């Protein structure tokens, strides 16, 4: 039986809207109706509203949400439905990769969410024309990018576009820690909490890079990450440190990876990226038709067809090991190569300590 299913999410930028549209279209092919509940503003707006509705007795049918304490508390309080039976029936354990994606959705042996994509944060994105049209070589690493800044300033171009929201500044510093300092440095500081090492010369290099980034950002007065991306796309800024979800904004604007824009994983210094992503959760309801629609949506999200189109639109990587992307961009190929050579366990552990927004 067909029913209406309200789905809340905070994917409102151009590429994000196109990506969520892929899931909506797939769901509506089942005969059910997707009722879009987009809420602009992930951290300070969407999450509190979503949580309030669920705890206040007015739950939506499904919601995008991030892993973390807020969702864990909702699960512990009994507000969220587990989708273990759906996962077992559809063989998610055999196809979803890495296992850490399912581990992040698991509580007391039950699966409470559906991973929709893999994202990584440690990237520097560059508008190639900004450099070539001003007599500069497109940088291949952070030092070359910093060296190009004085010439860019002379041309009235902001070297580094960055939104002013706190999570973006936190993300940038975490990226500098992993990319400039390296994976071992990050683990010593955030994992081992080695205070002596944190006060040493290796970490001092990271703070030097952070000071450089602060100077490069002068003039970037926008708030949202996609507004900063627009500065880069339009050529008013040269680059941006942001997660790979930004790639969707570039491609939506008609730019081609490798030709019009470049992507430097690990800022071109330490090519190591973390692996995490988005997920959908399902509040408990008493309506059997809504429950059936929730199960259908869960299957649609991880279906091979959805994974191919959704991840290409969003600029992400698929969560299934058995899908083949159509004409993946050089940036997607870079990400896949690095992640295949990366310890997934370490990647997920670091992710839990890094602010997330994608």
What integer is the mean pLDDT of 317-337? Answer: 87
Domains, in order of start, for the chain = 4-119+276-326 (3.40.190.10), 123-268 (3.40.190.10)
Question: Residue 193's pLDDT is what?
Answer: 94
Per-residue model confidence as pLDDT tens digits over 7-39: 999 999 888 999 999 999 999 999 999 999 999
Identify the pLDDT of residue 257: 94
- Residue 87 CA to residue 130 CA, distance in Å, equals 47
- The mean pLDDT of the chain is 91
Give the whole-angstrom CA distance, residue 84 versus residue 315: 28
| Type and span of the H or E element at 28 | helix 14-28
Identify the pLDDT of residue 347. Answer: 42
350 pLDDT more than 70:
no
pLDDT of residue 70: 85
Asked whether residue 41 carries a pLDDT value surpassing 70, the answer given is yes
Report whether pLDDT(344) > 50: no
pLDDT tens digit string along 281-324?
Answer: 999 999 999 999 999 999 999 999 999 999 888 888 889 988 88
203-212 mean pLDDT: 97
Q: How confident is the model at residue 356 (pLDDT cuts 50, 70, 90)?
A: very low
Residue 343: pLDDT above 70?
Answer: no
120 pLDDT higher than 80: yes
Q: Which residue has the higher pLDDT, 90 or 343?
A: 90
The answer, yes or no, to whether residue 279 has pLDDT greater than 70, is yes
């Amino acid at each position: 039986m067909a029913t209406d299913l309200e789905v809340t999410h905070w994917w409102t930028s151009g590429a994000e809207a196109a990506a969520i549209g892929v899931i909506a279209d797939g769901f509506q092919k089942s005969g059910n109706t997707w009722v879009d509940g987009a809420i602009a503003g992930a951290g300070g707006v969407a999450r509190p509203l979503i949580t309030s509705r669920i705890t206040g007795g007015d739950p939506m049918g499904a919601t995008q949400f991030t892993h973390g304490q807020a969702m864990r508390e909702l699960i512990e309080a009994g507000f969220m439905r587990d989708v273990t039976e759906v996962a077992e029936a559809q063989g998610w354990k055999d196809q979803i990769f890495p296992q850490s994606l399912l581990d992040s959705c698991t509580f007391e042996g039950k699966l409470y969410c559906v991973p929709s994509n893999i994202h990584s944060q440690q990237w520097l994105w560059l508008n190639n024309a900004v450099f070539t049209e001003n007599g500069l070589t497109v940088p291949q690493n952070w030092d070359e990018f910093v060296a190009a800044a004085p010439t860019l300033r002379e041309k009235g171009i902001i070297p580094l576009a960055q939104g002013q929201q706190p999570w973006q500044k936190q993300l940038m510093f975490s990226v500098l820690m992993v990319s400039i300092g390296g994976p071992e440095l990050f683990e010593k500081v955030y994992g081992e909490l080695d205070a002596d090492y944190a006060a040493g010369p290796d970490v001092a290099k990271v703070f030097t890079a952070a000071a450089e980034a602060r100077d490069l950002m002068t003039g970037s007065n926008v708030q949202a990450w996609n507004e900063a991306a627009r500065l880069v796309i339009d050529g008013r800024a040269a680059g941006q440190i942001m997660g790979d979800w930004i790639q969707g904004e570039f491609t939506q604007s008609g730019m081609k990876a490798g030709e019009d824009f470049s992507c430097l994983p690990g800022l071109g210094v330490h090519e190591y990226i973390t692996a995490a992503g988005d997920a959908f959760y399902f509040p408990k309801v008493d309506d059997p038709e809504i429950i059936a629609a929730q199960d259908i949506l869960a299957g649609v999200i991880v279906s091979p067809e959805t994974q191919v189109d959704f991840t290409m639109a969003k600029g992400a990587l698929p969560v299934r090991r058995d899908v083949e992307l159509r004409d993946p961009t050089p940036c997607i190929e870079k990400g896949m190569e690095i992640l295949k050579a990366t310890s997934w366990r370490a990647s997920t552990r670091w992710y839990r300590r890094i602010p997330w927004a994608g």
